[in-house]
């Protein structure tokens, strides 16, 4: 008898855990605008944010407003266009840059900036997946 009562709960837990966390569609407005939240988990402030078509290297700056302080500060940016994939480049207060390649902004509503890898701290351009 006890097993029968556990099955509905077990089925609910299995379905609940199968749903991915932190991933949800970010629908574009009719004029092709998407909004992406930027959460800075790095130690330094992000002072500049740029995007480019994947692999193109032709970055354009996005309006970031004020700098996004490290340690969990966040900001929302506006992306114009119908494409879903971008290379996203962050410039920190220290001048160090980091690129996240092929970010799918149609699938994500928030992008968490992680601290740059320690083995690349001396480089001006650190690439992180």
pLDDT at 23: 38
Q: Which of 68, 13, 19 is nearest to 42 (CA)?
A: 68
Tell which wins on pLDDT, 1 or 39: 39
- Asked if residue 88 lies in contact with residue 51, where contact means CB atoms within 8 angstroms, the answer is yes
Residue 16's alpha-carbon distances to 8, 10, 11, 35, in angstroms, are 12, 10, 9, 27
pLDDT digit string, tens, across residues 13-36: 333 333 333 334 455 565 678 888
Residues in CB range of 81: below 8 A, 6 or more apart: 32
pLDDT of 53-95, one tens digit each? 999 999 999 988 888 998 889 999 998 888 899 999 999 998 8
CA distance 31 to 18: 33
What is residue 30's predicted lDDT score, i.e. its pLDDT?
59
Decide: helix, strand or coil at residue 107: coil
Domains of the chain: 23-128 (2.60.40)
């Amino acid at each position: 008898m006890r097993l029968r009562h556990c099955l509905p709960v077990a089925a609910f837990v299995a379905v609940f855990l199968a749903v991915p966390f932190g991933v949800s569609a970010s629908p574009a407005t009719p004029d092709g605008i998407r909004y992406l939240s930027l959460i800075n988990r790095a130690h330094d402030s992000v002072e500049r944010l740029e995007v480019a078509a994947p692999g193109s290297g032709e970055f354009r700056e996005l309006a970031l407003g004020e700098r996004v302080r490290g340690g969990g500060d966040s900001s929302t940016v506006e992306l114009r266009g119908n494409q879903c994939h971008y290379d996203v480049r962050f410039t920190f207060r220290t001048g160090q840059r980091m690129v996240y390649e092929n970010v799918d902004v149609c699938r994500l509503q928030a992008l968490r900036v992680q601290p740059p890898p320690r083995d690349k701290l001396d480089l001006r351009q650190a690439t992180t997946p």
